[in-house]
């Protein structure tokens, strides 16, 4: 058995290339917010590591001394408190404060960098700015600034890093010469004091290194953003070409519709005896032509419907409250002749609910799913249409289950692609156009619905359409599950 879940709630523009803002200056707010949350999560990990370090110091101080780590003062606790409060403030600003001039993702990130640099400077001072490689952690902030900010802003971060590192080195070596250079490493391991000229040389070396890192990473970042900009242009050109191709396909479809209708009309006239008596051989040939013409007419209608759905704009489409029981009843009523032709029984058990959707598109979506269930069911079998309501999270599902040919595991991820149909499906239904489920996908995308598909080859398939933010009818706040009831095919 294969299971696949499909969701199309993201807009097409966001799915394209959302990483550029303007002409490659810096990442846009959406990407900044996602990375801000990642930094917050990473900072919680760092806070947990500092807490673990403090626990080890308190519980196994003698063992740590053997490794050269002496007991610390209160600076780790202060760092833990500052970073924890800062993280809570960042989350509150993102989730509970309205965006404004003083509360934007860029400002949030700037505050994070400044607070982190201050905390890192404290850590560098107590661990040792010249006797340990801890100062190289400043490079991480320079690299992140080059990635997420413009070149000028990342230069400001680099200058700020140099100033803070210089202050720490001067504070240790010129203002308080009597304090140990490192309190993390035991005194007997750091007996040699570093001369002031060595400290100045170390400071000069680090400042040069910071600017070199800024120059290299900022250049690479600009190159990457230039490539992203070209990719975005190429994507727009592809979209434009696709639009033009679709418009041409619609034009050709309209042009094919008129002569096809004329052909079918002439076939009906001949079969009706209005053009003289036809031999059995001619009648048989006309039946085959009419069948093919009917398939072509269905394909034309599907193409027109697909393009109409593609052109639907969510900004202008009207969302209305729809009674799901009534909508399903209308769909099933239209499809009774199709089910009757294959002797497929339809069983229904629906607990009614109300959802906000584009009404005609929801009807098209359900119609196509039920049609698919009938088409790919075995003759003299049945399909079941049921619903499930979850009152706790105000969601509901419509489940359409058939007992037909099923879908192969390898084909399941592709069933919503345009013009896709598996060899198994084409053998069962030679008139398949491969467009039906593409129409379902576009309608689901326009209405922000999710679809779950469970299938087993030779046994059947179940389509589950998931609705969010539903309402129960005012006259029925409590409900009991209805039994499956067979819909009459007469």
d(CA 166, CA 156): 15
Per DSSP bridges, beta strands 450-456 and 2-7 are: antiparallel
The domain spans of the chain are 29-239, 318-487
Q: CA-based angle 468:473:475, to the nearest 5? A: 160
Per the CB < 8 A criterion, the answer to whether 385 and 347 are in contact is yes
Q: Mean pLDDT over residues 233-255, rounded?
A: 74
Q: 422 pLDDT exceeds 90?
A: no
Beta strands in 230-379 (DSSP E): 320-323, 345-349, 354-357
Name the least confident of 80-84, 247-251, 308-312: 308-312
Name the least confident of 112-121, 217-226, 258-267, 349-358: 258-267
d(CA 454, CA 96): 39
Per the CB < 8 A criterion, the answer to whether 368 and 330 are in contact is no
Kindly report the number of other CB atoms within 10 A of residue 405's CB atom.
22
Q: 41 pLDDT exceeds 80?
A: yes
Per the CB < 8 A criterion, the answer to whether 130 and 172 are in contact is yes
Q: 191 pLDDT exceeds 60?
A: no
pLDDT at position 30 is: 73
d(CA 379, CA 400): 17
Q: Which residues contact 220 (CB under 8 A, 6 or more apart)?
A: 146
Q: 283 pLDDT exceeds 70?
A: yes
Reduced to 3 states (helix: H, G, I; strand: E, B; else coil), residue 344 is coil
Whole-angstrom CA distances from 375 to 339, 386, 457 are 8, 19, 15
pLDDT interval class at 414 (50, 70, 90): confident
pLDDT at position 401 is: 94
Q: 192 pLDDT exceeds 60?
A: no
Per the CB < 8 A criterion, the answer to whether 206 and 139 are in contact is no
pLDDT at position 292 is: 76
pLDDT at position 3 is: 76
pLDDT at position 451 is: 93
Rounded percentage of the chain residues whose pLDDT exceeds 90 = 14
Rounded percentage of the chain residues whose pLDDT exceeds 70 = 77
403 or 310: which carries more pLDDT confidence? 403
pLDDT at position 184 is: 47
pLDDT at position 190 is: 44
The candidate with the shortest Cα–Cα distance to 34, out of 19, 44, 45, 46, is 19
Q: Which residues contact 372 (CB under 8 A, 6 or more apart)?
A: 402, 436, 437, 463
Q: Mean pLDDT over residues 178-199, rounded?
A: 50
Kindly report the number of other CB atoms within 10 A of residue 429's CB atom.
13
Q: 22 pLDDT exceeds 50?
A: no
Q: What is the 3-state secondary structure (H, E, C) of 172-193?
A: HHHHCCCCCCCCCECHHHCCCC
Phi, psi of 210 (to 5 degrees): -60, -45
Q: What is the distance in angstroms between the CA of the first residue and the CA of the last residue of the chain?
A: 35
Q: Mean pLDDT over residues 461-488, rounded?
A: 75
The candidate with the shortest Cα–Cα distance to 122, out of 64, 86, 73, 84, is 73
Q: 305 pLDDT exceeds 70?
A: no
Rank 45-54, 97-106, 204-213 by mean pLDDT and report only the highest.
Answer: 204-213
pLDDT interval class at 408 (50, 70, 90): confident
pLDDT interval class at 465 (50, 70, 90): very high
Q: 299 pLDDT exceeds 80?
A: no
Q: What is the 3-state secondary structure (H, E, C) of 381-447?
A: CEEEEEEEEECCCCEEEEEEEECECCCCCCCHHHCCCCCCCCHHHHHHCCCCCCCHHHHHHHHHHHC
Q: Mean pLDDT over residues 273-280, rounded?
A: 79
Kindly report the number of other CB atoms within 10 A of residue 167's CB atom.
14
CATH number of the domain located at residue range(s) 318-487 in this protein: 3.30.565.10
d(CA 36, CA 116): 13
Reduced to 3 states (helix: H, G, I; strand: E, B; else coil), residue 86 is helix
Give the sign of the dihedral formed by CA 247, CA 253, CA 254, CA 255: positive
Sheet containing strand 485-487, edge to edge, reads 2-7, 450-456, 460-468, 395-402, 382-390, 345-349, 485-487
Helix, strand, coil percentages in the chain from 3-state DSSP, rounded to 5: 60, 15, 25
Q: What is the pLDDT of residues 84-108, one digit of tens each?
A: 999 899 888 888 888 777 788 888 8
Q: Mean pLDDT over residues 196-218, rounded?
A: 86
């Amino acid at each position: 058995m294969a299971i696949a879940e499909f969701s199309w709630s993201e807009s097409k523009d966001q799915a394209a290339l959302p990483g550029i803002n303007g002409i490659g200056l810096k990442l846009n707010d959406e990407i900044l917010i996602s990375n801000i949350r990642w930094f917050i999560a990473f900072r919680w990990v760092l806070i947990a590591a500092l807490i673990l370090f403090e626990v080890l110091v308190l519980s196994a101080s003698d063992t740590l001394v053997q490794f050269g780590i002496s007991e610390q003062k209160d600076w780790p606790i202060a760092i833990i408190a500052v970073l924890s409060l800062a993280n809570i403030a960042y989350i509150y600003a993102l989730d509970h404060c309205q965006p404004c001039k003083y509360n934007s993702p860029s400002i949030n990130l700037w505050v994070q960098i400044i607070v982190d640099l201050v905390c890192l400077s404290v850590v560098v001072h107590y661990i040792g700015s010249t006797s340990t490689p801890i100062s190289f952690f400043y490079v991480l902030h320079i690299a992140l600034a080059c990635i997420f900010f413009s070149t000028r802003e990342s230069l400001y971060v680099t200058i700020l890093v140099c100033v803070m590192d210089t202050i720490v080195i001067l504070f240790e070596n010129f203002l308080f010469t009597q304090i140990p250079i490192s309190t993390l490493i035991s005194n007997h391991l750091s007996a040699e004091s570093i001369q002031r000229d060595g400290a100045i040389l170390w400071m000069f070396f680090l400042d040069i290194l910071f600017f070199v890192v800024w120059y290299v990473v900022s250049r690479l970042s600009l190159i990457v953003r230039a490539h992203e900009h070209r990719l975005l242009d190429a994507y727009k050109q592809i979209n434009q070409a696709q639009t033009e191709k679709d418009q041409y396909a619609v034009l050709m479809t309209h042009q094919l519709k008129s002569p096809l209708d004329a052909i079918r009309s002439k076939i009906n006239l001949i079969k009706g005896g209005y053009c003289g008596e036809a031999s059995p051989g001619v009648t048989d040939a006309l039946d085959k032509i009419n069948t093919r013409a009917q398939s072509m007419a269905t394909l034309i209608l599907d193409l027109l419907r697909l393009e109409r759905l593609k052109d639907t704009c969510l900004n202008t489409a009207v969302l209305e409250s729809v009674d799901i029981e009534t909508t399903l009843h209308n769909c099933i009523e239209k499809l009774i002749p199709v089910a009757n032709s294959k002797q497929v029984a339809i069983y229904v058990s629906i607990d009614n609910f109300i959802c906000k959707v584009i009404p005609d598109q929801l009807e098209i979506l359900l119609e196509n799913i039920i049609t698919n269930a009938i088409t790919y069911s075995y003759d003299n079998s049945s399909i079941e249409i049921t619903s499930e309501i979850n009152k706790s999270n105000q969601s509901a599902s419509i489940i359409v289950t058939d007992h037909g040919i099923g879908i192969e595991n390898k084909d399941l991820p592709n069933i919503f692609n345009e013009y896709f149909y598996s060899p198994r499906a084409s053998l069962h239904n030679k008139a398949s156009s491969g467009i039906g489920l593409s129409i379902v996908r576009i309608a689901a995308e326009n209405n922000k619905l999710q679809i779950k598909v469970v299938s087993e080859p030779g046994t059947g398939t179940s389509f589950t359409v998931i609705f969010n933010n539903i309402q129960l009818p005012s006259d029925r706040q409590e409900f009991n599950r209805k039994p499956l009831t067979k819909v009459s095919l007469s």
